[in-house]
Chains A and B, each alone.
Chain A
Amino acid sequence: MTELKLTNVSKRYGNNVEVLRDINLEINQGELVVFVGPSGCGKSTLLRMIAGLEKISGGTLEIDGVRVNDFPPSLRGIAMVFQSYALYPHMTVRENMAFALKIAKKSKAEIKEAIDNVARILQLEPYLDRLPKALSGGQRQRVAIGRSIVRDPKVYLFDEPLSNLDAALRVATRLEIAQLKEQMPDSTMVYVTHDQVEAMTLADRIVVLADQSIAQVGAPLALYERPNNEFVAQFIGSPAMNLLSGTISATGPQTTIRLDSGGTARSNVPSSAAMQGAAVNVGVRPEDFSLGDANAIADSGSAAALFSGQVDITEALGEVTLLYLPAENGRIIVKLPGIHQGLRGQNIALYADPAKVHIFLAGQSLLTYKDHA
């Protein structure tokens, strides 16, 4: 069942600053959808439009089938958790959680029951009578989440809720949120982050925002395996996917590309004969490269390497080793599992499994490429 539906939603500040356009999105009940994108791409703006904190400049927003464009936040059945937690500093944890219920004129008993219940789930019972300033960052974050749960909203909105926590706490709280979601399978959540790890681990579906609109929507692994465009390809995964320019030299169920750097790439992405000679970018994730030793050449059945060059820098991280090779624009990054010593300064050849080689034509994946012309 569709809980949240955005149709052609756009946002302008003033008359000419367009921040978002043509946002079309349906979010189902019980889903956890993550908006991800670089800083300043409009994630918060989109979330705040859903919350009713920001006017919607165009298009419609429906919650539960009702058009709510002009509804004030309080009537939309949403709760929001802010990056800064936004706890009321002069109220105790209990008062913080009770505030919305008091405004809604709930009875004392009801309020107490709801708060006790949530406090138990979030292990906040010992802190109920403390002021926010007497809590640690993680505890504050839990209070902020608890405060939204108490209200029992239709949709939870999270705006970078973990950004103010330190790295260790961020991981712990991320897990807690994932658990919480499991305990509340019916509640819908929209979660904004600029951190792709959070997005990959929490999301049922990810919405990647870029260039004022949605770049791709899909399940986390789908985005990883089949990015629709170069932006998503490079945004998801770390280090980012390598892009090498070239021209299509053979078409069919498999495509062969002659790279400008001299190598040859083969991909399982099919191409039509019309694409022969088209200028494309080949994308290979750093972790999908393999080094050119004798066995690999034998397996792939071809001696032509995808790329060859001299290792410029190596970074040994323990579980992986990163190799940097100078290329015509920037560097090729290779991620090898385990420890590899003595590669620096060596000339090496790089190969890739054709199933893991992506092709982008005019920035779009060949898989989904539609000729606009």
Chain B
Amino acid sequence: MRVRSSNKAMGSFVGQRPALSWAVHLSMLFIVFLWLFPTVGLFISSFRTADQISSSGWWSSLSTQEQQRSPIRITGTETQDKGLYVVVGKLFSSEAVVLRAWGTSSKRPNEYQPGATAQLKRGRSLTIDADGRYRFTAQQSQAGKRLPRVFTTASSPPEFTFRNYDYILFQGDNSDSMAKAFLNTFTVTIPATIIPILFAAFAAYALAWMEFPGRSILIAAVVALLVVPLQLALIPLLKFHNEIGIGKGYLGVWLAHTGFGLPLAIYLLRNYMVSLPRDIIENARVDGATDFQIFTRIILPLSFPALASFAIFQFLWVWNDLLVARVFLIDASGQTTVMTNQIVELLGTRGGNWEILATAAFVSIVVPLLVFFVMQKYLVRGLLAGSVK
């Protein structure tokens, strides 16, 4: 049986129709664009200021924008100058924003040009320059009174900032900080990845290459447990952890992830180990190796691809998990929160602050994305081993 080795081989009969081939290229481009669009939006938003995010869609962030902004109220300390009460200040925090037109009433938001002076009621006047600097003058002190609102149309060039990341990661103890959650996520993830691999590798070897009564029943049990929803385990295990005194904490969450990850781990690794050549193992046996030696010196090194596949699965699964962490780890103290949980909290408290949400979310997905792109080969292999038989 000949199986295609290259994906170009198929082009032979389709390639003869250029129109069709273009249609394929274009529709694939469109699909890829569709799939990437939401993630790219999050990524770009995490580098924009709160101002910008709320004033324009992220897709327009790369072009210079001319748009009407939400009204800004003049503020500042009042000084006296030649008998006038004066307030000066700047409308825009960024230097790059250029004022195009402005007004003081919502009915005529573009009444004045930059540099023009508006004469307001009760002897007050307001001058705004193109860079957003304003000078407000009045005959009487305005202390305690509301200063006028300004409607502006301004153009702003693309602008990106690391400030959101600084705020989310390096600003100590603010309640939005992801720093502690980031560390906790690692503390949960690393042992919760290594321990099930260790347990599963030994078990998989026993199920693949050792003779003992009850082997096939155990294999069937593993396959059955593969689909047991972990929802079932929550209450009994919470009770169990409380009874044996583990309570909520790292140990509990490691054990839970170990238990939940084991069926897939054993299944994947056993399938892989069974496919190793029997002769090699028997030769080692003739060479005098015990099963423990065969396992550590021969099976483990040869199973690296399968171990890597499962490691990636488990890493992604634990890193991305919310439910198990909420049930078995996170207590009222909030000291052991993980990133997914922190984001859910932020969704509650900071629902509209996209600069914070986007940054926090991106911080949490950047590690899995790195792992994904670096180790993709093994991930795909593992998926195939796990589902195509």
Contact = CB atoms under 8 A, between A and B. Distances in A.
Same assembly = yes
A74 interface: yes
Given A100-B288, A103-B293, A80 B283 contact: yes
A91 to B, nearest CB: 9
B285 interface: yes
B279 interface: yes
A80 B288 CA distance: 12
Nearest to B297: A99
B289 A103 contact: yes
B213 interface: no
A372 interface: no
A87 B298 CA distance: 11
B375 to A, nearest CB: 20
Nearest to A153: B286
A53 B286 contact: yes
A151 interface: yes
A26 B173 CA distance: 83
Contacts of A84: 277, 279
A370 interface: no
Contacts of B282: 48, 51, 53, 73, 80, 82, 86
Given A90-B301, A90-B302, A151 B279 contact: no
Given A84-B277, A88-B298, A89-B302, A74 B288 contact: yes
A83 B279 CA distance: 9
B287 interface: yes
Contacts of B50: none
Nearest to A159: B279
Interface string A64-97: 0000000011100011101111111110000000
Interface in B280-316: 280, 282-289, 293, 297-298, 301-302
Nearest to A51: B286
Contacts of A79: 286
A51 B301 CA distance: 26
Nearest to B276: A89
Nearest to B294: A103
Contacts, number: 56
Contacts of A104: 288
Interface string A38-77: 0000000000100111000000000000000000111000
A100 B287 contact: yes
B301 A82 contact: no
Interface string A91-126: 000000001100110000000000000000000000
Contacts of B284: 88, 99
A53 B285 contact: yes
A151 B302 contact: no
Nearest to B293: A103
A210 to B, nearest CB: 25
B288 A103 contact: yes
A114 to B, nearest CB: 14
Interface residues of A, number: 24
Contacts of B288: 73-74, 100, 103-104
A241 to B, nearest CB: 35
B311 to A, nearest CB: 18
Contacts of B297: 99
Contacts of B277: 84, 86
Interface residues of B, number: 16
A80 B298 contact: no
Contacts of A151: 287
A89 B283 CA distance: 12
B293 A74 contact: no
A82 B277 CA distance: 11
B195 to A, nearest CB: 25
Nearest to B211: A55
A52 B287 CA distance: 12
A53 B287 CA distance: 12
Interface string A218-252: 00000000000000000000000000000000000
B201 to A, nearest CB: 16
A86 B285 contact: no
Contacts of A99: 284, 287, 289, 297
Contacts of B289: 74, 99, 103
Given A90-B301, A90-B302, A73 B285 contact: yes
Interface string A125-163: 000000000000000000000000001000000000000
Contacts of B280: 86-89
Contacts of A103: 287-289, 293
A79 to B, nearest CB: 7
A86 B279 contact: yes
A74 B289 CA distance: 8
Contacts of A74: 285-289
A274 B59 CA distance: 107
B279 A82 contact: yes
A86 B283 contact: yes
Contacts of B285: 53, 72-74
A121 B298 CA distance: 27
Nearest to B279: A86
Query: Which 9 A/B pairs are nearest by Cβ-Cβ distance?
Result: A74-B288, A86-B279, A100-B287, A86-B283, A82-B279, A73-B286, A103-B288, A90-B301, A86-B280
Given A53-B282, A53-B286, A100-B287, 15 more contacts: A51-B282, A73-B285, A74-B285, A74-B289, A79-B286, A80-B286, A82-B279, A82-B282, A83-B279, A86-B277, A86-B283, A88-B284, A88-B298, A99-B284, A104-B288
Interface of A: 48, 51-53, 72-74, 78-80, 82-90, 99-100, 103-104, 151
Interface of B: 277, 279-280, 282-289, 293, 297-298, 301-302
10 contacts: A52-B286, A53-B282, A53-B285, A78-B286, A79-B286, A86-B283, A90-B302, A100-B287, A103-B289, A151-B287
